[in-house]
A = this chain, B = another copy of it.
Amino acid sequence: MISTPVHFKTISLHSTGGMVQFLAFLSLCMFLVFPLSGNQTDERQKHTLNLMPMPENVAVNDGFYPLTEDFSVSLDNRGGRSSERISKAISRFLHRLSGRTGLFFKTHEIGAGIPTGGKSNQTGLTVSFQRTGEVKLGEEESYTLTIDNTGIRLEAVTDIGAMHGIETLLQLLDADPTGYGFPFVDIKDKPRFPWRGLMIDSCRHFFPVDAIKRNLDAMAAVKLNVFHWHLSENQGFRVECKSFPKLHLMGSDGLYYTQDQIRDVIAYAADRGIRVMPEFDIPGHSTAWFVGYPQYASAPGPYSIERLYGVFDPTFNPTTKATYTFFTKFFKEMAALFPDEYMHIGGDENNGVQWDSNPGIQAFKSKHNIKDNHNLQAYFNKKILAILTKYRKKMMGWDEIFQPELPTTIVIHSWRGKESLKEAAVKDYNSVLSNGYYIDLAQPTDFHYLNDPLSDDLGLNEEQKKRILGGEATMWAELISEETIDSRIWPRTAAIAERFWSPAGVKDVRDMYRRLDGISLQLEEHGLTHIKNRDMILRRLAKNSDIEPLKVLLNVFEPLEGYNRHSQATYTFFSPLTRFVDAAWPDAPKSREFGFDVETFMTQNPSRENGDRLLTQLNTWKENHEKLKRIIDSSPVLKEIETASEDLSKIAEIGIQAVENRLSGTKRGEEWLKECKDTLEKAKQPRGHGELTIISAIGRLLQNN
């Protein structure tokens, strides 16, 4: 074990401003550090940091701190009051560490057994922080992490910052021939944005508490700090409401969270430094409220829970006192239940149909000189704002609430585009970006990753930039079930979390994907099903454990992007989300790899080695159909992907020919090329609500042919 640091250099990503540079520099460091140490050098050079989000400053030094069964943690809270939260976090840390390494640690008590006060144990981790952090927007979250031959030191202002450092430390776990341990590093880290969120829509589909909790664990692992919980919709009202019990009793199919469960989730999140901001979407998106309380709608009832998806008419009546009496009592209860200082009121997609056809509302508008529905909604929002203010909540809402009548204390949640983000900032409103982070739309990770809340083209000054608080990935739930939610959120959201946390210059896509693969596996330790449910769905479809041919196809098959899946069938609350497409990932992994390989093959001089690599893959695809056909024949549910499998075989054949052509320098005629392109064009059609993904890569192979 090399135990003396022989190299130390801090790299500021802010100042060097680019991941490519950082990595190039890092490789250089690695080379410079270990040029003379023989086998050990080779071993050490294998170590590539696998951090996500990438810290602001990272220095890698020469050496490896071994992890043994004697490993212990000591807590030095510098005279500040002790934090039960950090004790629990350390207990989870040890549990995850022993889970990965199989080590039977000698010290491993829950909330106990962690020595406090002493300055450190020479053979373990020392954690110190100055005060217990508040789970609140803008709280201090920085930390420093130093690993050398004397041990591991984690220092932070708050216990929340220390918990971020613990997650970084867990990502640093590595192995050398002697066993597990941690590379010597000096890390100084803090977030770029204070608002780093994930929204989960528990309304279009319902997700039990355990599903929420495992996602909170994963959020903490990638340093997200806001759980935005979408709790009311046309399709369901999901919170136990004591003031108006018909909300949850009649508006939820029995699928709602009890207040005990909500308190449990909030405490669980707070233990991980995560805020829980509820959203009650009003005045539109509110059918489920009116099942029990039709009197507050703008048109007479009765109402029933909406089963379809889209924009619907039911809207609160903004013109009657009863509506505001209702909301006063409602928000009083909810403000007490949810401790976060923000309350999200939605406010999106009110289509105005009920308002336009209600004579009373029309009369009200005339009488009060309200010129259109937009202004009527502003009137409504002002009344709601007063209620929220009374209960000490700040108001947040989607783009539509951005109206000049409202004070700049509200927060604009931008879903429609960056224009609104910019306009809000210019006009002194704080805002949070979700446009570009709609993870329900099955777009590739890099699309979200390169979407920066503070992109240069916004043209904001420094003061205005500060008003952009951060962003939120939004997991809308029309097309996800408990079985698939994790695979839609993860691992893509880890890359979005990096966008919110790391310096803007960290944006090398290939490196992001490399790190993402490792992080994705680590996320499984929280019980996430994003990897394991793929095979499970395939086994169910095939009624068999032998699903290899299905996996081969699935690895180059993605759900239709955007809202295109809705054009393939009328999805309702009851529709099965268990088909082949539901097992597919938005980022078909083989497709991405293949694309990179094709690019290398096409831009460099074609080598036999690169060619063979492509040919092996192409042959697997070509030969897969025959095997898959046998499974499809006994599983009618798989019939819908039969032509996709056939087409994969056909376009793989085209790819094989194209690779052979390039390797041998052969040029085929125009006719062959046209035939190939026709085949590729046909292969683009949607099948089974998804599509093949390697078509453009195969098309690339045809260039210069």
Chain A residues with CB under 8 Å of chain B are 94-95, 98-105, 108-111, 175, 177, 179-180, 208-210, 253-254, 258, 260, 482-483, 517-518, 521, 524-525, 527, 529, 531-533, 535-536, 539-541, 543-545, 569-570, 572, 574-576, 578-579, 633-637, 640
> A143: shortest Cβ distance to chain B, in Å?
25
In the assembled complex, which residues on chain B have CB atoms less than 8 Å from the CB atom of A180? 636-637
In addition to A95-B574, A98-B574, A102-B637, 18 A-B residue pairs with Cβ atoms within 8 Å of each other are A101-B637, A102-B576, A102-B578, A103-B576, A104-B570, A108-B574, A109-B574, A110-B254, A180-B637, A210-B210, A258-B260, A483-B527, A518-B543, A521-B545, A524-B539, A531-B536, A531-B545, A532-B532
In the assembled complex, which residues on chain B have CB atoms less than 8 Å from the CB atom of A640? 102
> A236: shortest Cβ distance to chain B, in Å?
11
In the assembled complex, which residues on chain B have CB atoms less than 8 Å from the CB atom of A576? 98-99, 101-104
Q: Which residue of B lies closest to A635 (CB)?
A: B175
Task: Tell me if B527 and A540 are in contact (CB < 8 A).
Answer: no
- Give the docked Cα–Cα distance between A601 and B415 (Å): 67
- Give the docked Cα–Cα distance between A575 and B539 (Å): 32
Task: Tell me if A634 and B531 are in contact (CB < 8 A).
Answer: no
- Give the docked Cα–Cα distance between A518 and B545 (Å): 9
> A252: shortest Cβ distance to chain B, in Å?
10
Q: A210-B208, A521-B545 are in contact. Are A579 and B102 (CB under 8 A)?
A: yes
Task: Tell me if A179 and B636 are in contact (CB < 8 A).
Answer: yes
> A98: shortest Cβ distance to chain B, in Å?
4
- Give the docked Cα–Cα distance between A637 and B636 (Å): 43
In the assembled complex, which residues on chain B have CB atoms less than 8 Å from the CB atom of A529? 532
Partner of A531, one of B524, B539, B570, B574: B539
Q: Which residue of B lies closest to A98 (CB)?
A: B576
Task: Tell me if B253 and A111 are in contact (CB < 8 A).
Answer: yes
Q: Which residue of B lies closest to A521 (CB)?
A: B539
In the assembled complex, which residues on chain B have CB atoms less than 8 Å from the CB atom of A579? 102
Task: Tell me if A543 and B521 are in contact (CB < 8 A).
Answer: yes
In the assembled complex, which residues on chain B have CB atoms less than 8 Å from the CB atom of A110? 253-254
In the assembled complex, which residues on chain B have CB atoms less than 8 Å from the CB atom of A209? 209-210
- Give the docked Cα–Cα distance between A576 and B95 (Å): 7
> A635: shortest Cβ distance to chain B, in Å?
7
In the assembled complex, which residues on chain B have CB atoms less than 8 Å from the CB atom of A100? 540, 578, 637
Task: Tell me if B543 and A578 are in contact (CB < 8 A).
Answer: no
In the assembled complex, which residues on chain B have CB atoms less than 8 Å from the CB atom of A634? 175
- Quick one: which of A99, A527, A541, A544 has the most chain B CB within 10 A? A99
In the assembled complex, which residues on chain B have CB atoms less than 8 Å from the CB atom of A525? 540
In the assembled complex, which residues on chain B have CB atoms less than 8 Å from the CB atom of A517? 545
In the assembled complex, which residues on chain B have CB atoms less than 8 Å from the CB atom of A99? 540, 576, 578
In the assembled complex, which residues on chain B have CB atoms less than 8 Å from the CB atom of A103? 576, 637
Task: Tell me if B521 and A544 are in contact (CB < 8 A).
Answer: yes
- Give the docked Cα–Cα distance between A104 and B536 (Å): 20
Task: Tell me if A521 and B540 are in contact (CB < 8 A).
Answer: yes
In the assembled complex, which residues on chain B have CB atoms less than 8 Å from the CB atom of A483? 527
- Give the docked Cα–Cα distance between A613 and B92 (Å): 47
> A559: shortest Cβ distance to chain B, in Å?
14
In the assembled complex, which residues on chain B have CB atoms less than 8 Å from the CB atom of A536? 524, 531-532
- Give the docked Cα–Cα distance between A633 and B42 (Å): 14
In the assembled complex, which residues on chain B have CB atoms less than 8 Å from the CB atom of A569? 104
Q: List 9 A-B contacts (CB under 8 A).
A: A95-B574, A99-B578, A102-B578, A102-B579, A209-B210, A260-B260, A521-B540, A521-B544, A532-B535
- Give the docked Cα–Cα distance between A253 and B101 (Å): 24
In the assembled complex, which residues on chain B have CB atoms less than 8 Å from the CB atom of A521? 539-540, 543-545
In the assembled complex, which residues on chain B have CB atoms less than 8 Å from the CB atom of A104? 569-570, 572, 574-576
Q: Which residue of B lies closest to A535 (CB)?
A: B532
Task: Tell me if A636 and B175 are in contact (CB < 8 A).
Answer: yes
Q: Which residue of B lies closest to A577 (CB)?
A: B99
- Give the docked Cα–Cα distance between A67 and B234 (Å): 31
In the assembled complex, which residues on chain B have CB atoms less than 8 Å from the CB atom of A108? 572, 574
- Give the docked Cα–Cα distance between A580 and B100 (Å): 11
In the assembled complex, which residues on chain B have CB atoms less than 8 Å from the CB atom of A260? 258, 260
- Give the docked Cα–Cα distance between A575 and B521 (Å): 22
> A519: shortest Cβ distance to chain B, in Å?
11
Task: Tell me if B543 and A524 are in contact (CB < 8 A).
Answer: no
In the assembled complex, which residues on chain B have CB atoms less than 8 Å from the CB atom of A98? 574-576, 578
- Give the docked Cα–Cα distance between A609 and B214 (Å): 50
Q: Which residue of B lies closest to A533 (CB)?
A: B532
In the assembled complex, which residues on chain B have CB atoms less than 8 Å from the CB atom of A258? 260
Q: Which residue of B lies closest to A258 (CB)?
A: B260
- Give the docked Cα–Cα distance between A575 and B517 (Å): 28
> A102: shortest Cβ distance to chain B, in Å?
4
- Give the docked Cα–Cα distance between A575 and B106 (Å): 9
- Give the docked Cα–Cα distance between A348 and B113 (Å): 31
Q: Which residue of B lies closest to A637 (CB)?
A: B102
Task: Tell me if B544 and A636 are in contact (CB < 8 A).
Answer: no
- Quick one: which of A518, A540, A570, A640 has the most chain B CB within 10 A? A540
Q: Which residue of B lies closest to A639 (CB)?
A: B179
> A314: shortest Cβ distance to chain B, in Å?
19
Partner of A482, one of B111, B527, B531, B637: B527
> A39: shortest Cβ distance to chain B, in Å?
13
- Give the docked Cα–Cα distance between A531 and B110 (Å): 30
- Give the docked Cα–Cα distance between A197 and B258 (Å): 30
Q: A103-B576, A175-B635 are in contact. Are A540 and B518 (CB under 8 A)?
A: no
Q: Which residue of B lies closest to A107 (CB)?
A: B574
> A585: shortest Cβ distance to chain B, in Å?
13
7 tightest A-B CB contacts, nearest first: A108-B574, A532-B532, A102-B637, A210-B210, A98-B576, A99-B578, A102-B579
